[in-house]
Amino acid sequence: MAPGGAPRRQRSTRYAAAARAVRHAGQQGFAGSRSKWQRWPNPMRRSPGRLHTPRMASRSGRFRDPRSTEHDFLSVIIVRCPGCDRAARVVPAPDDSGPGGRILFRPRRLACRGCGLSRTWSGRQVALSRGTARPATDPYFGMPLWFQVETRHGWLWAYNLEHLDLIRRFVQAPLRERAVSYGTGPNMTLVARLPAWIKRAKNRDEVLRAVARIRASLTDA
């Protein structure tokens, strides 16, 4: 008989039972805390079939004016060939930097793969299209642009696919950030030159449908 009146074996049994209860409670607490932690998945952990990207890697829905001007899209102009009515290209003539090295006045070549038509241009005056009241033409040969379509607001047009994609990204973005300086005159950014009806949010769906129609015209090229 141990001091305190309880047998030593009984006290040991009580201590062992208490120790097991403490270990069990600790395991339950750890499992519970783990289940709570698992509710907040690691954003950098990959799940099967899902690609995780950092939250700040891209901001969908935001457009920032890249400060491109109309001159940045004159390297390749897609026009309607006067010979076969198919898509032709207006490109800078090779090995010629033009008067004073200005790209805008660099000699151009009109080439059509459909009918083999080839023309050259060399001059000091260009006719950039302005407005959307009438069909647009290329600045050098005056040929109708291939990428254009008429809407109830006016003509939507682009020199090439890069030009068209810039318009599409601007129109579909709910949040638009303009450049620090739009510039003035010939240095005004292309986005700043867009007509008001293209910029209006209420016309977004209609303009995007027009862009889709223009892209679909590539199958006819």
pLDDT of amino acid 25: 54
Does residue 204 carry a pLDDT above 80? yes
Averaged pLDDT of the chain: 78
pLDDT of 44: 39
Residue 147 has pLDDT above 70, yes or no: yes
The reported pLDDT for the residue numbered 53 is 32
Highest mean pLDDT among 6-15, 111-120, 172-181: 111-120
Return the percentage of the chain with pLDDT > 90, whole number. Answer: 48
* Residue, of 75 and 32, whose pLDDT is higher: 75
Q: Are 132 and 110 in contact (CB under 8 A)?
A: no
> What does the pLDDT average to over 185-206?
87
Structure tokens at 85: 């009515």
Amino acid at residue number 177: E
pLDDT in tens, 57-113: 334 588 988 888 888 999 999 999 999 999 999 999 986 554 445 678 999 999 999
In which band, very low, low, confident or very high, does the pLDDT at 132 lie, cut at 50, 70 and 90?
very high
Burial class (CB in 10 A: 0-12, 13-18, 19+), 164: buried
Q: How far apart are CA 195 and CA 134, in angstroms?
A: 13
Q: What angle do CA 138, 141, 146 make, to 5 degrees?
A: 40
Half-sphere exposure of 50 toward its Cβ, with a 13 Å CA cutoff? 8
Query: How crowded is the C-beta side of 215, counted as CA atoms within 13 Å?
Result: 13
Question: What's residue 167's pLDDT?
Answer: 96
Spatial distance between the Cα atoms of 160 and 148, rounded to a whole number of angstroms? 10
The end-to-end CA distance of the chain, in Å, is: 106
Whether 12 shows a pLDDT value over 80: the answer reads no
Q: What is the pLDDT of residue 47?
A: 42
* 163-186: average pLDDT: 79
Distance, CA of 155 to CA of 135 (rounded, Å): 6
Confidence of residue 160 (pLDDT cuts 50, 70, 90): very high
